[in-house]
Amino acid sequence: MITDNFNEETGIAEALLTGEITMTEILGWFTTLTPERFKVQDFKLLSDASGVDYKFGIDQLDQSYQAIGDLCRRFIRVRIAVVHSHARGTAYSEIVVNKSDFTNYTQKIFSERDSAMDWLMNGN
């Protein structure tokens, strides 16, 4: 399941991914991430995937990369902080980060939510 909300105080969208998640679910959710919905052009997302069980293989990561490209075309700047607690999720994120060549996109991987939020808020 993927739930998200926009924290008006911080200007950061916060997502929680839990349980079994398919690539279809992720792609569908990415289509909901729009400037009209969040009222920002500099999009910051804290994605807490520490409790997720990905139900897709490495061969589907190109679809995620394409969805990130679409996201980058919708916003002026995109910064995503992903929190993982499992090696598989971390590896998947590393693959996507290393492949990403969008000039307005930055993603970092964290093991703790507080560190991820600090990076989004302060750029550290």
pLDDT in tens, 68-91: 999 999 999 999 999 999 888 889
pLDDT in tens, 25-54: 999 999 999 999 999 999 999 999 999 999
* Per-residue confidence (pLDDT) for residue 124, from 0 to 100: 54
- Give the residue from 50, 52, 48, 45 showing the smallest Cα distance to 18: 52
Residues sharing a CB contact under 8 Å with residue 30, sequence separation 6 or more, in sequence order: 67, 68, 70, 71
What's the average model confidence in pLDDT over 95-119? 92
What's the average model confidence in pLDDT over 1-11? 95
| Homologous superfamily (CATH) for 2-122 | STAS domain (3.30.750.24)
pTM: predicted TM-score of the whole model, two decimal places: 0.92
Domain ranges of the chain: 2-122
Region of poorest pLDDT, from 12-26, 29-43, 56-70: 56-70
